[in-house]
Amino acid sequence: MNNSIRLKSRPEGIPTLENFEFVEVDKPKASEGQVLLKTKYVSVDPYLRGRMRDEKSYITPFELDKPLQSGIIAEVVESHISDFKKGDFVNGMLEWKQFQTSNGKGLQKVDSSKAPLSAYLGVLGLTGITAYVGLLKIGEPKEGETVLVSGASGAVGSVVGQLAKIKGCKVVGIAGSDEKIKLLQNTFGFDAGINYKTTNQMRKAIKETCPNGVDVYFDNVGGEILDAAMANMNRFGRVVNCGAISLYNETEQPTGPRLETSLVKKSLKMQGFIARDYQDEFKEIVPQLATWLNDNKLTYEETIVEGFENIPRAFIDLFEGKNKGKMVVKV
Amino acid sequence: MNNSIRLKSRPEGIPTLENFEFVEVDKPKASEGQVLLKTKYVSVDPYLRGRMRDEKSYITPFELDKPLQSGIIAEVVESHISDFKKGDFVNGMLEWKQFQTSNGKGLQKVDSSKAPLSAYLGVLGLTGITAYVGLLKIGEPKEGETVLVSGASGAVGSVVGQLAKIKGCKVVGIAGSDEKIKLLQNTFGFDAGINYKTTNQMRKAIKETCPNGVDVYFDNVGGEILDAAMANMNRFGRVVNCGAISLYNETEQPTGPRLETSLVKKSLKMQGFIARDYQDEFKEIVPQLATWLNDNKLTYEETIVEGFENIPRAFIDLFEGKNKGKMVVKV
């Protein structure tokens, strides 16, 4: 019994369950130079939506009728590679299958005694690294500055806010429910929050919560929230373009106010990135994040959905904002 | 006899002669601690359009019924300051008057034996510095990369292209007439040019002239040309937002395709700036530009209009693209 999940059709707009197909495949055998892996935790992330489009990007698109992939924590159940032994846990970009083989390339061992396994998909994985790189390498916040974060209660946003507090900034988060705003303030130490779903005038709401203007805007959503933030940027402000979840499901080219005049007038920087651009620095970043985690300077929320069969649903729910923090499926 | 030019009304759209008013004022006398200056050359620049709006920017707006200002080369005709003597030429942000006094603050002496006076308003002035800072500090072109420049035959653009050639890049310029395209190739050493007025498909035209994609786009114009450039940016590309002349006369908030998804997908940087952000480095930048000028690695075009009374007309003509290179009025 080995279930796999394939991309059946490319979504138009928000993905639906019909875009996915469950296919029973043989449980593979590991040959020489291979390990047999059993999937334990599967990461679902907004950026996967981009790979479902058939267009050029920093990462190749998913193919139709082939298994989808994401960050996965798996257990080594059989090993013919000296670096790995039975019972090891590994992190890698793997297929949505219950069992699969690997030649070991791109697999990192993770230590389940140092942090829960799921944390390696979140705060100690690409999520935490994304927050670190975007805020600290691109946003470069200085003590006393104001940092605004959208998608603030999400996996990346909640880490961004905490890192900004570690750096001595004032931190304001934007999220989509009063419950999430409370979470930002009570659990993650944000100074203030804005519920964009109940706020008619985002531009004004940002102005009121950031009376000294915004120095760093960490953007996970794009669209009109970005526009409202732009109107509040201080001179020499930095906009970190981490994601644009509000646009991922658009079927036509979205339009909005042109930004070039603001960029010139205020000497602003906007910069997009993906964590992998900084791969050489991961070995310094992850231990730093682990230290802050163990010092209780960093905490995280995760939404764990149970069951391999619920991976597509969990992914779709990201676009409804049903997750608090990192969304992970436990298999 | 001392003529002055005041802002009579704020322009809607492209400025007209009606927005300006000539007012005869007394010729002032220089008292202790002052110099009396006679205007020789007046710089007219697109950015002045921004100061005609009554809105917050990096520089205070012009006031109605007050003289306009810009970069001016003036002759000291009387001095009561030890640093300046009669016959010196100075460069400063001065009023549109034939004669005026100054306490000397912000005035730099210029050496008419090293370069023509008008060059100090152009290639050796803020124009050249703007090109230097934008291209080299923000664009950071590497040898062999492709640099695309809009407004390429203008004062800043023509220097940008030459600096990019000095750095060993392939350089493509965008301008608005076949004559200007010839100028780019024959005088300024650009590798290729695109006449945007006779090209229907800018995106395709850029793709054809930049087959390896665009690594640095130096943008003087904004709007649809920026959109077309964005579609051709390489991963890790840098967009230098120097100006947006295509939008300066818009009366409504201009809209266009949203850029945030491209920024993320291609790890792009867009950064606005003004030369003054790098004021501390002027003392290294200007001699470097002068060296390249004297080594014939840098050349410039200027459009010199004669007569104080023609300053408003020369300014308006900028928006019609009537200048080649730096537009200067000789008084």
Assign B262 a pLDDT band (cuts: 50, 70, 90).
very high
Pick B260's closest partner by Cβ from A226, A235, A268.
A226
Assign B57 a pLDDT band (cuts: 50, 70, 90).
low
Cα–Cα distance, B331 to B326 (Å, whole number) = 16
B255: chain A residues, CB-CB within 8 Å: 255-258
Same domain, B87 and B22: yes
**A241 reaches B (C-beta below 8 A):** yes
Confidence check: pLDDT of B42 > 70: yes
Contact (CB, 8 A) for B150 and B228? no
Domain annotation covers residue B82: yes
Assign B276 a pLDDT band (cuts: 50, 70, 90).
confident
Angle, helices B223-230 vs B202-209, to 10°: value is: 50
Residue A304 is predicted with a pLDDT of 96
Q: What b-and-e string marks burial along B225-237, b requiring 16 or more CB atoms within 10 Å of the CB?
A: bbbbbbebbbeeb
Same domain, B253 and B310: no
Pick A260's closest partner by Cβ from B50, B241, B277.
B241
Closest Cα in chain A, distance from residue B327 (Å):
21
Domain annotation covers residue A232: yes
Nearest to A106 by CA among A87, A77, A86, A126: A126
Same domain, B112 and B158: no
Interface with chain A: mutation pick from B265, B269, B273, highest number of A CBs within 10 Å = B265
Contact B265 A247 (CB under 8 A): no
CA of A224: which chain B residue's CA is closest? B258
Average pLDDT, chain B: 94
Contact A264 B274 (CB under 8 A): yes
Alpha carbon B59 to its chain centroid, in Å, reads 15
Same domain, B136 and B268: yes
CA of B248: which chain A residue's CA is closest? A261
Contact (CB, 8 A) for B238 and B262? no
> Which domain does A313 fall in, by range?
2-121+300-330
Alpha carbon A88 to its chain centroid, in Å, reads 25
Confidence check: pLDDT of B280 > 80: yes
CA of A138: which chain B residue's CA is closest? B269
Domain annotation covers residue A283: no
Domain annotation covers residue B233: yes
pLDDT-flagged residues of chain A (< 70): 57-58
**A276 reaches B (C-beta below 8 A):** no
Contact A222 B58 (CB under 8 A): no
Task: Given the cut 0.90, state whether the ipTM is greater than it.
Answer: no
Interface with chain B: mutation pick from A203, A232, A258, highest number of B CBs within 10 Å = A258
Same domain, A249 and A144: yes
Confidence check: pLDDT of B249 > 80: no
Domain annotation covers residue B195: yes
| Residue that is written with structure tokens 């300006």 in the block | B20
CA of A253: which chain B residue's CA is closest? B257
Question: Mean pLDDT, to the nearest integer, of B12-23?
Answer: 95
Interface with chain A: mutation pick from B49, B261, B262, B271, highest number of A CBs within 10 Å = B261
Residue B264 is predicted with a pLDDT of 93
**A32 reaches B (C-beta below 8 A):** no
Same domain, B269 and B133: yes
CATH number for the domain harbouring residue B180: 3.40.50.720
Assign B179 a pLDDT band (cuts: 50, 70, 90).
very high
Closest Cα in chain B, distance from residue A257 (Å):
4
Contact A266 B241 (CB under 8 A): no
Of B282 and B186, the structure prediction assigns the larger pLDDT to B186
The tokens of A254 are what? Answer: 């979205």
**B225 reaches A (C-beta below 8 A):** no
Contact (CB, 8 A) for B90 and B74? yes
Residue B246 is predicted with a pLDDT of 82
What H or E segment, with its residue span, contains residue B161? helix B155-166
B252: chain A residues, CB-CB within 8 Å: none
Residue A7 is predicted with a pLDDT of 97
A203: chain B residues, CB-CB within 8 Å: none
Contact B271 A258 (CB under 8 A): no
Nearest to A128 by CA among A15, A287, A319: A287
**B213 reaches A (C-beta below 8 A):** no
Domain annotation covers residue A286: no
CATH number for the domain harbouring residue B118: 3.90.180.10
Assign B253 a pLDDT band (cuts: 50, 70, 90).
confident
Q: What b-and-e string marks burial along B160-194, b requiring 16 or more CB atoms within 10 Å of the CB?
A: bbbbbbbbebbbbbbbbeeebbebbbebbbbbbbb
B254: chain A residues, CB-CB within 8 Å: 257-258
Cα–Cα distances in Å, from A192 out to A131, A212, A230, B27, B30? Answer: 19, 14, 19, 58, 56
Interface of B with A in 99-118 (CB under 8 A): none
Domain annotation covers residue A281: no
**A268 reaches B (C-beta below 8 A):** yes
Residue B80 is predicted with a pLDDT of 97
Residue B247 is predicted with a pLDDT of 82
Interface with chain A: mutation pick from B241, B266, B276, highest number of A CBs within 10 Å = B241
Confidence check: pLDDT of B324 > 90: no
Show Cβ contacts of residue B195 under 8 Å, excluding neighbours closer than 6 positions: B175, B176, B177, B178, B180, B181
pLDDT more than 70, % of chain B: 99
The tokens of B311 are what? Answer: 């300053």
Question: Mean pLDDT, to the nearest integer, of B72-85?
Answer: 97
Confidence check: pLDDT of B285 > 90: yes
Cα–Cα distance, B328 to B40 (Å, whole number) = 10
Closest Cα in chain A, distance from residue B6 (Å):
24
**B272 reaches A (C-beta below 8 A):** yes
Same domain, B63 and B185: no
Interface with chain B: mutation pick from A265, A266, A276, highest number of B CBs within 10 Å = A265
Residue A57 is predicted with a pLDDT of 67
Residue A3 is predicted with a pLDDT of 96
Domain annotation covers residue A237: yes
**B53 reaches A (C-beta below 8 A):** no
Residue B248 is predicted with a pLDDT of 77
CA of B221: which chain A residue's CA is closest? A260
Residue A199 is predicted with a pLDDT of 96
Assign B58 a pLDDT band (cuts: 50, 70, 90).
low
Closest Cα in chain A, distance from residue B228 (Å):
14
- What is the count of structural domains for chain A? 2
Closest Cα in chain B, distance from residue A253 (Å):
7
How wide is the angle at C-alpha B101 spanned by C-alphas B97 and B104, nearest 5°? 120
Same domain, B14 and B136: no
Same domain, A39 and A101: yes
Alpha helices in A19-176 (DSSP H): 48-51, 126-132, 155-166
Same domain, B140 and B75: no
A236: chain B residues, CB-CB within 8 Å: 277
**A222 reaches B (C-beta below 8 A):** yes
Same domain, A44 and A176: no
Same domain, A64 and A112: yes
CA of B219: which chain A residue's CA is closest? A260
A257: chain B residues, CB-CB within 8 Å: 253-255
Residue A321 is predicted with a pLDDT of 81
